Amino acid sequence: MDFPALVSGRPIWLCWRLGEAEVGWWHETTEGFDSRHRLEDLSDERAVGALPCPSSRAERGSTGTVMQGDRAKAYRPIPEDRRREALEDGIAAFERGDFFQAHELLEPAWMGTADLAERALYQA
C-alpha cells in the first residue's frame, strides 16, 4: 500500500506491504514497488507530512484521481511504454504463480492511465 508524503517539498509514496511490521519503505511517485528504497535512505531529508488526496476528476498529465464507477481512484500518470512494460512484467509474475508480485507490478500501470478501459485491462 502506498501513502502520499512530502520530502523536502518533493512528493513521494511511503510504501507498506502485508507482513511488514511498519512503514519502512518509499518510492518516487513515478515508480512502483520494484523501485522501493528503505526510509533510512531519506536520512538527510525529512518527511514533512501527508498530502491531501485530490477529489476532482484528473486531467490527463496531472496527478490526482479519476472516477471509476462511483469511486475516486488514484491517478499517477506514466508513459504508455512504461505501462506496457509493467503489464508484461505483471503477466510474467502471474505465470510464475507470484500473485502478490503480479499485483504490485501491475499497480503502476492501472494507476498510470486515466483511460477507464485501459485501467480495467490492467486490473483484470
pLDDT digits (tens, 9 = 90+) for 10-61: 778 888 888 888 888 888 888 888 888 888 776 544 444 433 333 333 333 4
Beta strands in the chain (DSSP E): 2-7, 10-15, 25-28, 37-38, 47-49, 64-68, 71-75
The percent of residues above 90 in pLDDT, for the chain, comes to 4
Beta-carbon contacts of residue 68 (< 8 Å; ≥ 6 apart): 116, 119
CA 78 to CA 82: how far, in whole Å?
A: 6
Please say whether the beta carbons of 58 and 66 come within 8 A: yes
**Domain limits of the chain?**
2-49, 64-123
